[in-house]
Structure 1
Amino acid sequence: MNEKDLTFIYKKAFSIKAEAGSFLFFQGDPAENLFFLVKGHIRLFSLTPEGQQVLMHVVTPGNFFAIVALVPSSAYPVSAEVTQESILLKWNRDAIEEILKIVPAISLQAMRLMAERLQEYQQRFKEIATQRVERRLARMLIRLAAQSGVKTSEGIVINLPLTRQDLAEMVGTTLYTVSRFLSQWESRGIIFSSREKIIIKNSHLLMCIAEDLPEHGS
């Protein structure tokens, strides 16, 4: 987009600060606002009919979310929990409608982002249905590293506020199972995990697990 369009879009936004532990919206609420995360982390999760919580996505700075708000009369399919003090830009329904009229390219970009997210969810559901837990967990770590990993001298740092329970929800297994595999991988020098971050120390071995390949093969 050109600078004029970007300036117009930015001026229509409200800047807000959200405290850790607060919620921006809940699953089933009318989708009235579009968000862009400037600083912090947002946790998107859904509840099954049985009341089980499933972590769908972790939003990192520099990303839009709640894009479904661009669709009139829609509802949020997930809840958005603030996990760290965050600064966001928010566009309400009136601003969204005005932006879509003036900058129609936004619609195309939104469709692309929604398609990417849908593809990611479909891939995760396919993995849950067809793959062993170990492979699913390895693939999830690789996916998170691609989205927000930072290369350091120690390895690839996934600096997200993710608990082992969060990882269990994302790959469709139990906390015990995730803890067991992470501990095994840590003892083998594949990863290092703590409450604050996960470091992928040997991405080759993790990729072998994810793709079910011989670890010493070509």
Structure 2
Amino acid sequence: MLGQIPFFKELDQEELNQLEKISIIKKYKKGEFLFMEGEDSKWLHLLLKGSLKLYKTTPKGKEIFMHQLNAMNFVAELGNFENIKFPASALFVTSGEVLKIDYEKFYKDFLSNPQISVSIIKSLSQKLKIASDVLHQELVLSSEAKVAKFLTDHQDLFNTLKHVKIASILNITPETLSRTLAKFRAQELVDLDQNNKIINISETKLKNFFDN
């Protein structure tokens, strides 16, 4: 199985056997934490299946949504490389499966491999973009733009969470979210069923709210 993972496809059989010895696979249920903000980052996590919600928590207990991460991706690897505690919490929004690699041994035995190093750099670059997007959302986007972006980027999460939780993620009031959704429905930008699940959205038109 390890040889089928894009990050490790260039490893030879001996290297794959070595990687297997320092790795475990763990399955998770929806609603379980992969890790929580502030925990030690002993393991390097590679999400094999499922979807994770990454978020930070303010001192007053407010959640700040950062990203929804899908397979196949490393998770919060910056904590490993900087030898710091995990900077965010990772919660499964679906059932999932994770390859957990002993980071200390991985660092010693594998990061000198150019192919793996380049893959890690690309993954870190993606995480920097995520952080940039979070800052942009909080400092630049209007309430309507936040809702439009969430609808286009996280349809499955929208269909999973209650609206009061989505409003908290977007740092807007539930009333503002409700008014914005009503406006989008009136403009035929989004079609919701009786349970407020997405039937159809106009992604191109919604992107005009935040992609300028």
Whether these two folds match at TM > 0.5 is yes
Quick check: 1:162–1:197 contact (8 Å CA) kept in 2?
A: no
Q: 1:124 to 1:93 in 2, by over 3 A?
A: closer
Alpha-carbon distance in structure 2 between the residues aligned to 1:69 and 1:121: 14
* Residue among 12, 15, 28 paired with 1:18: 28
1:44-193 map, 5 Å: 44-142=54-152, 144=153, 158-160=155-157, 161-193=160-192
1:76, CA displacement in angstroms? 0.2
- Give the deviation of 1:61 after TM superposition: 2.3
- Whole-Å separation in 2 of the counterparts to 1:57 and 1:178: 19
Provide the secondary structure at the position in 1 that maps to 2:66. Answer: strand
Name 2:4's counterpart in structure 1.
none
Distance 1:101-1:204 versus aligned 2 partners, 3 A rule? closer
Answer yes or no: is the 8 Å Cα contact 1:26–1:78 preserved in 2.
yes
2 CA distance for matches of 1:175 and 1:95? 47
Query: TM-score, structure 2 length as denominator?
Result: 0.77
SS at match of 1:16: strand
- Greater mean deviation of Cα atoms: 190-199 or 34-43: 190-199
| Alignment match, 1:42 | 52
Deviates more, 1:99-108 or 1:14-23: 99-108
Could you tell me how far 1:125 is from its partner in structure 2?
Answer: 1.8
Cα distance, 1:199 vs. partner?
A: 4.8
| Alpha-carbon distance in structure 1 between the residues aligned to 2:99 and 2:179 | 39
Report the TM-score when normalising by structure 1. 0.75
Contact 2:141 2:210 in 1 (8 A): no
User: Structure 2: how far apart are the matches of 1:166 and 1:110?
Assistant: 32
What one-letter code is carried by the residue in structure 1 that aligns with 2:204? H
CA distance in 1, matches of 2:135, 2:12: 36
Amino acid at match of 1:210: F
Q: Mean Cα displacement is larger for which, 55-64 or 109-118?
A: 109-118
SS of residue matched to 2:147: helix
CA offsets 1:1-31 (integer angstroms, 9 cap, x no match): 6734176456343111112222221111111
Structure 1 position 166, deviation (Å)? 4.5
Q: Is the 8 A contact 1:46 1:53 kept in 2?
A: yes
Any unmatched runs of 5+ in structure 1?
146-157, 213-218
CA contact (8 A) 1:124 1:171 kept: no
Aligned twin of 1:205: 205
What SS is found at the alignment partner of 1:31? coil
Kept after mapping to 1: 8 A contact 2:30/2:93: yes
Structure 2: segments with no counterpart, 5+ residues: 1-6
Distance in 2, matches of 1:135 and 1:174, equals: 14
Identity %: 22
Q: 2:9 aligns with which of 3, 6, 10?
A: 3
